[in-house]
Structure 1
Amino acid sequence: MGEREFADVLRDAIRARGLGLERIRERLLAQGVSVSLATLSYWQSGRSRPERRDSLAAVELLESVLEVPAGTLSASLGPPRRRGRWLTTVPDRPDVAAYWPRPDAVEDAVSGVDLRWDERLTRISQHDRVYIGPDGGERSYHSRQVLRAEADGPDRWVVIMHLDEHDRPLPAIWPLRHCHLGRTVRRPADGLLVAELLFDRPLRKGETVITEHELVNVAPYPPATNYERKFRLPVREFVLEICFDPTRLPVVCSGFSQLDDADEIVRPVDVTSEVHGVVLNFGPGRYGFRWGWDE
């Protein structure tokens, strides 16, 4: 028993029932259970499997939707796997494009860079600072991170950046500390920038590195209404700052977070010229802020 067997049983049941994933998601939602398309896709491909209580409840309803005997899917899961935030290999490790609006475009873009070391770098600390101009446009993003090698050899970090407005120019990327620019993939039509930040030298197992880089937009600046960081692997500490020009502040602001396939959590935030959030032992998932202007 295991995730591969569960994936095989699920895939066979879906094929026999003749329903697409969107139809399956809609039928689950009609019964009060929300499961994302990405999650259903990962379950049937074997990338991840249901283990949380709400996910296991969804499996029971899934058996009804797919018209298979009760217990068919749940029995194929086998015993729960050992879990822990800081295992060298994260058990439910989402695909690199899991939390992006167009996974196919992201997967195509990252095929032009080297991602082989991504899962061998533990995210100790990450700190993003976003600057919003007086016109409400995104001016720049500054990122600092502390990474630890879990094997000999990691020599790069890959940055993925997406603009919602595909008619705006992509930002320039500037390495600032302990890294220099490697291969860069720019896809303006998809609003995607992917870049390698090469370390000063390959890391040894257990060694840490502190890097800083900046993404700088050019006019016409993309309008800013949100910012989020996507984590396919967990981070021990994440700090996010949104810095608004004091001459123009948003009317409303909220923070949001979503862990893996769980529901999104939203919280109101007092509007000031600088809002920030801190999370510990977070991910896989998404974390960020949304805000609204007066016009």
Structure 2
Amino acid sequence: MDTARTDTFAGALRAAIAARGLGLERIREHLAQHGVKVSLATLSYWQSGRSRPERRSSLKAIGLLEDILDLPAGHLENLLGPPRPRGRWLKRVPDEPLPISALWSRPETVEWAVRQVDTGWDEQLTRLSQHDFVTVAADRAEHVIRSRHVLRAEADGADRWVVIVGEQPGRPLPVLRPVRHCVVGRLVSCSDVGVVCAELLFDRALRRGQSIVIEHELVSRPHAVVTHCGRKFRLPVREYVLEVAFDAAVRPVSCQQYRRPEGRAETVLPAEVDASGSLLGVALDLAPGSFGFRWQW
């Protein structure tokens, strides 16, 4: 074991897993055989210290983990200590990440699309920073969304990011263009159901702890008048920046910034277009949910 880091629950768990030479999938299978279901993402969060067992169902796994990892009875439980104080919800990582389809108005459509791509690495990528730059032209239509993601791998082998775009069924779908450090892998694009789902393959597979910056664009054709833009988050992001640049010939008459954490009420604030013709929103420690702007022409 890594004795220098075994005085915390996460460190002891990580060291014990390394000493036993078991993969997280094998550990998950052992737990499942004893009637305890824990996702791979949750096990990864526990050993990295991003979250800890707190729910009753999660606490049942501790004794089993001690047995699986050949640890003395009570070893992990004692390191876990008393429950942590409940701080702001936005600062906590949930034991179980939301399903990919959870935040969409038509979850069955998203589920259909993601079954056709590889989402296996999604929960192993920490969202350090995400930046969307939206261009609204003189026709009041959204022409291009350029997105920049700074991601850190929490496991060896992470090599792709999945993009999901939803539109009303029957409307033309945007074209996905890779820009930096990525290429398009498998892609599902179906205007009949109103969804684009694609893999952006990194230019290299990441080792645990490595980071990457990727950029892509969504180009809309033909163009339709737009009155809102934003992003849905199923996992926390440390920093999210949303910029909307309006053509000098058109400016909205009123704007709002909205923020809707999953399971909580939406908060709305007035927003103003600055002298350059842009809206700017910055959110830190953003929890799963939605964030964006709405406006009226």
TM-score by length of 1: 0.69
Contact 2:170 2:193 in 1 (8 A): no
Deviation digits for residues 162-221 of structure 1, max 9, x if unmatched? 124x333211111111000100001201221001000011100000000000010112x1
What does residue 21 of structure 1 align with?
none
Residue 167 of structure 2 corresponds to residue 163 of structure 1:
yes
What does residue 225 of structure 2 align with?
223
Identity of aligned residues (%): 47
Rounded Cα–Cα distance in structure 2 between residues aligned with 1:223 and 1:292: 11
Rounded Cα–Cα distance in structure 2 between residues aligned with 1:240 and 1:292: 18
Change (3 A) 1:237 1:78: closer
Deviation digits for residues 45-72 of structure 1, max 9, x if unmatched? x99xxxxxxxxxxxxxxxxxxxxxxxxx
Rounded Cα–Cα distance in structure 1 between residues aligned with 2:94 and 2:201: 24
Pairwise CA distance, 1:271:
3.0
Residue 122 of structure 2 corresponds to residue 118 of structure 1:
yes
Residue 100 of structure 2 corresponds to residue 96 of structure 1:
yes
What does residue 259 of structure 2 align with?
257
RMSD over aligned Cα atoms: 2.6
Residue 146 of structure 2 corresponds to residue 142 of structure 1:
yes
What does residue 239 of structure 2 align with?
237
Deviation digits for residues 219-272 of structure 1, max 9, x if unmatched? 2x1321111111100000000001111101111110000111010000011134
Pairwise CA distance, 1:77:
8.2
Residue type of the alignment partner of 1:175? P
Q: 1:208 aligns with which of 207, 211, 218?
A: 211
Pairwise CA distance, 1:85:
6.7
Rounded Cα–Cα distance in structure 1 between residues aligned with 2:193 and 2:263: 25
Residue 280 of structure 2 corresponds to residue 287 of structure 1:
no
Change (3 A) 1:117 1:243: same
Deviation digits for residues 266-287 of structure 1, max 9, x if unmatched? 0011134200100101011110
Change (3 A) 1:77 1:180: closer
Q: Mind listing any 5+ residue stretches in structure 1 that lack a counterpart?
A: 1-45, 48-75
Rounded Cα–Cα distance in structure 2 between residues aligned with 1:122 and 1:209: 11
* Corresponding residue pairs, total: 219
Runs of 4+ in 1 over 2 A off after TM superposition: 76-87
Q: 1:190 aligns with which of 193, 202, 208?
A: 193
Rounded Cα–Cα distance in structure 1 between residues aligned with 2:292 and 2:152: 24
Deviation digits for residues 60-114 of structure 1, max 9, x if unmatched? xxxxxxxxxxxxxxxx889997688788x74242110111110011111111100
Residue type of the alignment partner of 1:119? E
What does residue 14 of structure 2 align with?
none
Q: 2:250 aligns with which of 238, 248, 252?
A: 248
Rounded Cα–Cα distance in structure 1 between residues aligned with 2:140 and 2:83: 46
Q: Mind listing any 5+ residue stretches in structure 2 that lack a counterpart?
A: 1-37, 40-55, 60-81
